[in-house]
Amino acid sequence: MVPKCGRAFDILDRDTVLGYPMGYSDVEADDYSEREDWRGRKVHLLGASPPKQYAVMQELTQPNLRDDPPANIVGVDWNGPHKMAYLGEYWSRDGWQPADHLSIRNTVRKSLEEIKQYWQDRGVWPETEPIDLYGPAVEEPNELIYMDQGGDPIGTREDLEAAYVERYEEYGRIAFLSEHAKKRWEYYEGLTLAD
């Protein structure tokens, strides 16, 4: 739940996870609330780069003169790496870096690796990750998608029969509209076929 007015804090249950807007939202948290409104609650930080998220995290969790309870930061998100990958840059702890040599997927992956390292350097990254708890994903999607069409689903049986489908070690089964599109994608991703 993302509160958009001060009265929401009086109405919402304390166990409700509150979204703290700090990205491209028209309404920022400071427009309708005070920092203490967020303390003692579960909070998910919405948007902004890791350094900005970390600054807010510190403000909401560190001891203060009023002895307010700290917020419980349950998560963060930011779509900046995905947006900037299309512009040929990845996020790093030293700022945005050119990524003309990387595919969009690998550009996003590089940003995510840097973000993970940023949080690990601050001792905030959890010790266990979902793959440690649950193991690798074992199910594949029910529907094949056209990788070269931005993930559009394959509609009919005839489309599936005409598609170029391959199995890759890292990504599983992927479909393409043409053999040329398949080879081009393999080249840019540096992929090999699974056995």
Q: pLDDT tens digits for 101-158?
A: 888 889 999 999 999 999 999 999 888 888 888 887 766 555 555 655 555 566 676 7
Statement to judge: residues 14 and 60 lie in one domain:
yes
Statement to judge: residues 128 and 152 lie in one domain:
no
pTM for this predicted structure:
0.69
Statement to judge: residues 71 and 156 lie in one domain:
no
Residues contacting residue 41 through CB under 8 Å, at least 6 positions apart: 14, 16, 18, 71, 72
Give pLDDT, residue 33: 93
Q: pLDDT tens digits for 10-44?
A: 888 888 999 999 988 788 899 999 999 999 999 99
Tokens linked to 128: 């266990």
Statement to judge: residues 22 and 79 lie in one domain:
yes
